[in-house]
Amino acid sequence: MADVTLDVCDEVCPLPVMKTDEALAKMKSGETLEVIVDYPPSKENVRRLVTSKGHEVLNIIEEGEIVRLLIKKA
């Protein structure tokens, strides 16, 4: 189970990316963050932002329309 969960369903760019950024900044290194989105471009956005900052995407689970990304802070 993830340490921190962030639910950004029904929100479009920029909000998922912004909130993911802020949440990652507040976490300690090694903790995991689970981001729940339901907007396909947001999934790509968050993944790209996270890998460009050096964090690691552990898993991407797609349940119908909702996508959960599991991210580990570097």
Partner 1 sequence: MRMTPAIAGGIFGLLGAAGQAFFHVIPPPAYGICIACHMRDLVNWIAAHIYPIYGLKAGGALIIPGGPVSYNFPLLTIVGILIGAVIAARVNKEFKWKVMRVWWQRPWAEFFLGMLVMISALTFGGCPIRTALKAAYLDITAFIGLIMIAVGVFAGCQVLRKLT
Partner 2 sequence: MDLLPPIATIFLGLIMGYLGQRARMCFIGGVRDYCLVKDTYLLKGLFSFIVCALAGFIIFQFVSPAIKTFPWFLDGGAVFAKKWAAMGVTAVPSLILPVPGDPITWSPKVGAHIILAILGGFGLGFFSCMAGGCPFRQHVMAAEGSKSAIVYLVGFVLGAILFHRFVAPFIKAVLA
* Residues found near partner 1 in the complex (CB under 8 A): 9-12, 14-15, 18-19, 22, 40, 65
Strands 32-37 and 56-63 turn out to be unpaired
Work out whether 69 is an interface residue with partner 2 (CB under 8 A).
no
Nearer to partner 2, 13 or 74 (CB): 13
Non-local CB neighbours of 43 within 8 Å, separated by 6+ positions: 37, 60, 67, 69
Nearer to partner 1, 19 or 68 (CB): 19
Work out whether 41 is an interface residue with partner 2 (CB under 8 A).
yes
Instruction: Find the binding residues for partner 2 in span 15-34 (CB under 8 A).
Output: 17-18, 21
Annotated catalytic residues are: 13
Strands 66-72 and 32-37 turn out to be antiparallel
Q: Which of 2, 17, 1 is nearest to 73 (CA)?
A: 2
